[in-house]
């Protein structure tokens, strides 16, 4: 297939480039409307009991118990003064008037009748508006925009502010990433013409992924967060794949004496193109594993990541070879003399290079280096054992946003009984017998540990009752989670559904845990299959999976230090919520696993190529690292800039993705590739390439190697003779 693509690119380069341009234009025109089709949130699962409780209460009462707008009204003269009371009543009427005919489905709390709505210092009052979605919250925002003494927050305001900030941060990240990527590409690719190729491949990948998301949004709900991943991964993978292909093309061009032709392109795709193919499949599969989760947030990330990986792979195998066929030796054009000399030296790596010497040094002391590097990664990962999880709330917002400020003021200045309650929906008829049963059940709940108060059971519609249970701990507090389990364990004569924020966190962790083994199985199995197809070895894929797990564990540990314990809050510009969002480790693991395998495939392909040429194992490892060391380092640097730009986001979740992915790339390109891979390759020796006889025969029969069976057999015999 790759040979046919090379021949097609050599014969019809203009046709292929015209098709790529048309595809990109369609993606930009149609895909540019995708933002309006995406939704915020997407962290729930319809099968969760907490979601079912919320939906039951919404159908019965017309109000969504999870949608509550909070307005803090400052009353410097005192909340209980006649002037303040009149002001509060006027604001409540103003809100009701703004809602118009929708007002009956909304509950506006009376701050004059509930002392819990007055701050401890008596100088501010909380106006609670229940059953308000994002659209209605927008109306209230517009009506109260000119009220300087009113601060708006609550779940619908938080959702709106997250959407707005994500959109602005996405544009800012693009403005940061694209110029930096181009400048670094100019240095890495050693010429202006070559440096223009990765952004072009990235444009095709991003436009194609946007087009795919736009089509998918017609059939299902997708999360707006997917756009950040598409842009970051699109740029990062485009850089990686372009660097792999262009560097190999230059190498083959130098071997051909600077004379471009179809054979140069064929050799490029047979080697670097094959690497890109295996890498693209692995990265796409790692991200596609997120599709097994029921949360639309993870599903959207998985779909966007899979699309951008596949389109980037396609662009690198079709559009990029066509561009190289047209450019020929001019791929090195517009390059200063010192960069041309550097490019020529890079294209003809010698055995005295830095990476060659480093590999030889590591392989002279493989056991202590392997133990030391592994111990370092395990030490970095140790804080992950103390991880605490939370769900998305106002704390993901920057401190300057009103949603964040209201959340902090409510927690600090208002009674603890205003903590998000455990909301219980009970299915029972609205008669006296049911009222007696439910009241007795509520009395039992009052006697449970960690209960602050229990509301009077009240019918909220036909055959549905509601009971609010105040907790002594906030939504992600272990005490609140324990209370959820205790309430659910109580016997009841009527069907009981337990919801609220604490219940949502309990259910979300269980939902993710149920699907996690399937996602892990998909990623590991496909990684093993792809690397076996590339290498013909059983041990190398297993070793790659173990090394990827070490990388991910180290990243998780550092994330706990930064985002849970709050280290580097100042430099990174955020306030620690004291926990990690439940979905972030899963998504970062999928991205890190895919990108780590990407670099592993590139390195192993060059080691195998050197070994198949007749070199002994030790020499092949050193030469493979020398040929890939600079390229992998450059690709990692560019990828870190592309995806790390999202560390500038003001939303903590997006910041976690940028920091976590950048850490994974840095660890993989340094500790893993420079130390662990060569040391373990030396320790295992020829067993690196071992596979059971049936699998070895299958590999040969399928013709998955770029070399013939006789050449492989000869290479195996030669390597055994030369092995130290």
State mean pLDDT over 167-196. 78
Tell which residue, 42, 121, 116, 113, has the closest CA to residue 75: 121
First to last CA, the chain: 38
What is the 8-class DSSP label of residue 151? E
Q: Residue 512's pLDDT is what?
A: 92
Q: Reply yes or no on whether the pLDDT at 712 is more than 50.
A: no
pLDDT band at 473 (very low <50, low <70, confident <90, very high): low
What mean pLDDT do residues 591-611 have? 83
| CA dihedral (467, 468, 472, 476) positive or negative | positive
Decide if 483 contacts 448 (C-beta within 8 A).
yes
pLDDT of residue 344: 53
Query: Does residue 715 have a pLDDT over 50?
Result: no
Q: CA 469, CA 460: separation in Å to the nearest integer?
A: 16
SS3 category, 65 = coil
CA-CA-CA-CA torsion sign (508, 513, 514, 517): positive
pLDDT at residue 466, as a whole number: 92
**Structure confidence at residue 102 (pLDDT):** 55
pLDDT confidence of residue 126: 83
Asked if residue 400 has pLDDT above 70, the reply is: yes
Residue length of the chain: 724
pLDDT at 546 > cutoff 70: yes
In terms of C-beta density within 10 A (0-12 exposed, 13-18 middle, 19 or more buried), how is residue 350 classed? exposed
* Per-residue pLDDT, 624: 86
Average of per-residue pLDDT across 612-624: 85
- In Å, the largest CA–CA distance within the chain is 97
Q: For residue 294, with 0-12 CB atoms within 10 Å meaning exposed, 13-18 middle and 19 or more buried, which class applies?
A: middle
Exposed/middle/buried for residue 453 (C-beta within 10 Å: 0-12, 13-18, 19+): middle
Q: Which domains does the chain have, with CATH numbers?
A: 1-32+190-348 (1.20.1640.10), 59-160 (3.30.70), 350-391+508-719 (1.20.1640.10), 402-506 (3.30.70.60)
DSSP state of 615: -
Is 668 within 8 Å of 358 (Cβ atoms)? no
Contacting residues for 16 by C-beta, under 8 A, at least 6 apart: 8, 9, 318, 319, 321, 322
Residue 14 tokens read as 């203009």
Distance CA 309, CA 283 (A): 6
CA pair distance 300, 580, nearest whole angstrom: 20
Q: Residue 642 in contact with residue 628, Cβ under 8 Å?
A: no
Place of tokens 């850490």: 663
E-strand ranges in 63-145 read: 68-74, 107-108, 124-130
Report the run of H or E that residue 413 belongs to, with start and end: helix 402-413
- pLDDT for 717 equals 36
Choice between 613 and 280, residue whose per-residue pLDDT is larger? 280
Instruction: Give strand pairing partners of 130.
Output: 68, 107
Compute the radius of gyration of the chain from its Cα atoms.
30
Q: Report the alpha-carbon distance of residue 20 to residue 30 in Å, rounded.
A: 15
Predicted confidence (pLDDT) per residue in 498-538, tens digit: 998 889 989 999 999 999 999 999 989 988 888 888 888 88
3-state helix, strand, coil in the chain (%, to 5): 70, 10, 20
- Span 331-337, average pLDDT: 72
Confidence of residue 721 (pLDDT cuts 50, 70, 90): very low
Return the half-sphere exposure (C-beta side, CA atoms, 13 A cut-off) of residue 115: 2
Q: What percent of the chain shows pLDDT beyond 90?
A: 24
Q: Is the pLDDT of residue 418 over 70?
A: no
pLDDT at 340: 57
Separation of alpha carbons 454 and 403, rounded Å: 27
Residue 416: CB atoms within 10 Å: 14
Query: Which of 678, 376, 681 lies closest to 551, judged by CA?
Result: 376
What pLDDT is recorded for position 334?
74
pLDDT for res 339: 56
User: Mean pLDDT throughout 559-563?
Assistant: 93
Q: Rounded to whole angstroms, how far apart are CA atoms 581 and 630?
A: 36
- What is the rounded CA–CA span in Å between residue 255 and residue 24? 34
Structure tokens at 266: 């064929």
User: Which of 133-137, 312-316, 544-548, 622-626 has the lowest average pLDDT?
Assistant: 133-137
- pLDDT value of residue 252: 85
Q: How high is the pLDDT of residue 342? A: 56
Average pLDDT, the chain: 83
Considering 161-165, 289-293, 605-609, 690-694, the range whose residues carry the highest mean pLDDT is 289-293
Closest by CA position to 624, among listed 249, 351, 362:
351
3-class secondary structure, 66: coil
483's tokens: 């209370």
- Residue ranges with strand state E in 330-484: 389-390, 422-427, 451-454, 458-461, 464-471
pLDDT of residue 438: 93
Inform me whether the pLDDT recorded for 105 exceeds 50: no
- The rounded distance, in Å, linking the Cα atoms of 31 and 236 is 20
Collect all residues with Cβ–Cβ distance below 8 Å to 167 and sequence separation of at least 6.
35, 224
For the cut 80, the answer to whether the pLDDT of residue 488 exceeds it is: yes
Q: Which of 14-18, 235-239, 380-384 has the lowest mean pLDDT?
A: 235-239
User: What's the pLDDT score for residue 230?
Assistant: 86
Range among 1-10, 56-65, 123-132, 374-383 with highest mean pLDDT value: 374-383
Q: Which of 83-92, 198-207, 274-283 has the lowest mean pLDDT?
A: 83-92
Going from the C-alpha of 576 to that of each of 278, 417, 488, the distances in angstroms are 39, 24, 31
In which residue are the tokens 């990029």 written?
320
User: Can you tell me the mean pLDDT for 70-91?
Assistant: 83
Q: What is the pLDDT confidence band of residue 107, given thresholds at 50, 70 and 90?
A: low
What is the full DSSP assignment across 450-480?
TEEEEPPPEEEETTEEEEEEEESS-TT-HHH
pLDDT value of position 111: 60
Lowest-confidence segment of 237-241, 552-556, 654-658, 698-702 by average pLDDT: 698-702
pLDDT at 716: 35
């Amino acid at each position: 297939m790759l040979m046919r693509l090379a021949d097609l690119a050599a014969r019809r380069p203009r046709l292929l480039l015209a098709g790529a341009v048309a595809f990109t234009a369609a993606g930009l025109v149609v895909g540019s409307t995708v933002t309006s089709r995406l939704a915020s949130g997407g962290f729930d699962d319809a099968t969760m009991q907490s979601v079912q409780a919320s939906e039951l209460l919404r159908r019965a009462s017309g109000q969504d118990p999870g949608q509550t707008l909070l307005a803090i009204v400052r009353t410097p003269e005192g909340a209980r003064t006649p002037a303040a009371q009149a002001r509060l009543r006027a604001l409540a009427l103003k809100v009701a008037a703004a809602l118009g005919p929708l007002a009956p489905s909304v509950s506006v709390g009376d701050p004059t009748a509930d002392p819990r709505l007055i701050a401890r210092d008596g100088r501010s009052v909380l106006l609670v508006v229940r059953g308000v979605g994002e659209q209605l919250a927008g109306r209230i925002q517009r009506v109260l925009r000119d009220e300087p003494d009113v601060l708006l927050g609550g779940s619908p305001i938080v959702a709106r502010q997250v959407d707005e900030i994500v959109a602005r941060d996405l544009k800012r990240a693009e403005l940061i990433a694209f110029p930096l990527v181009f400048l670094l590409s100019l240095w890495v690719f050693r010429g202006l013409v070559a440096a223009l190729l990765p952004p072009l491949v990235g444009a095709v990948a991003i436009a194609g992924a946007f087009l795919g998301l736009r089509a998918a949004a017609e059939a299902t709900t997708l999360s707006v967060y997917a756009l950040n991943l598409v842009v970051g991964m699109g740029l990062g993978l485009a850089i990686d794949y372009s660097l792999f292909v262009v560097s190999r093309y230059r190498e083959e061009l130098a071997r051909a004496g600077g004379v471009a032709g179809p054979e140069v392109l064929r050799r490029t795709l047979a080697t670097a193109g094959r690497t890109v193919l295996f890498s693209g499949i692995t990265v796409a599969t790692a991200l596609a594993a997120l599709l097994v989760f029921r949360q639309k947030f993870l599903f959207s990330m998985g779909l966007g990541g899979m699309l951008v990986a596949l389109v980037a792979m396609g662009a690198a195998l079709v559009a990029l070879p066509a561009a190289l066929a047209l450019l020929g030796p001019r791929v090195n054009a517009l390059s200063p003399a010192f960069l041309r000399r550097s490019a020529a030296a890079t294209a003809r790596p010698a055995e005295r290079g830095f990476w060659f010497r480093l590999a030889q040094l590591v392989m002279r002391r493989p056991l202590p280096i392997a133990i030391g590097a592994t111990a370092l990664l395990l030490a970095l990962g140790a804080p992950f054992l103390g991880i605490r999880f939370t769900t998305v709330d106002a704390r993901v917002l920057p401190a300057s946003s009103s949603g964040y400020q209201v959340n902090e003021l409510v927690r600090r200045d208002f009674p603890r009984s205003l903590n998000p309650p455990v909301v219980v929906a009970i299915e029972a008829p609205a008669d006296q017998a049911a009222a007696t049963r439910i009241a007795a059940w509520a009395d039992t709940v009052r006697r449970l540990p960690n209960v602050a108060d229990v509301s009077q059971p009240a019918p909220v519609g036909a055959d549905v009752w509601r009971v609010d249970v105040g907790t002594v701990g906030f939504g992600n507090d272990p005490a609140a989670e324990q209370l959820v389990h205790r309430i659910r364990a109580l016997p009841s004569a009527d069907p009981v559904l337990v919801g609220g924020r604490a219940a949502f966190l309990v259910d979300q962790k269980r939902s993710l845990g149920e699907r996690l083994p399937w996602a892990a199985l998909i990623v590991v199995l496909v990684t093993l299959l792809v690397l076996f197809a590339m290498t013909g070895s059983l041990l190398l894929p297993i070793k790659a999976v173990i090394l990827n797990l070490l990388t991910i564990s180290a990243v998780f540990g550092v994330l706990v230090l930064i985002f849970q314990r709050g280290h580097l809050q100042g430099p990174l510009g955020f306030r620690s919520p004291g926990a990690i969002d439940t979905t972030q480790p899963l998504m970062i693991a999928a991205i890190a696993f895919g990108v780590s395998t990407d670099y592993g495939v590139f390195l192993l392909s060059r080691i195998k190529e050197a070994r198949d040429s007749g070199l002994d194992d030790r020499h092949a490892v050193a030469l493979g690292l020398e040929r890939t060391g600079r390229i992998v380092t450059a690709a990692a640097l560019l990828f870190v800039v592309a995806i790390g730009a999202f560390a500038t986001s003001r939303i903590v979740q997006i910041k976690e993705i940028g920091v976590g992915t950048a850490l994974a790339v840095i660890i993989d390109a340094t500790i893993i590739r420079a130390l662990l891979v060569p040391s373990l390759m030396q320790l295992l020796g020829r067993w690196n390439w071992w596979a059971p006889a049936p699998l070895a025969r299958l590999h040969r029969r399928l013709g998955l190697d770029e070399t013939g069976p006789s050449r492989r057999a000869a290479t195996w015999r030669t390597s055994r003779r030369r092995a130290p």
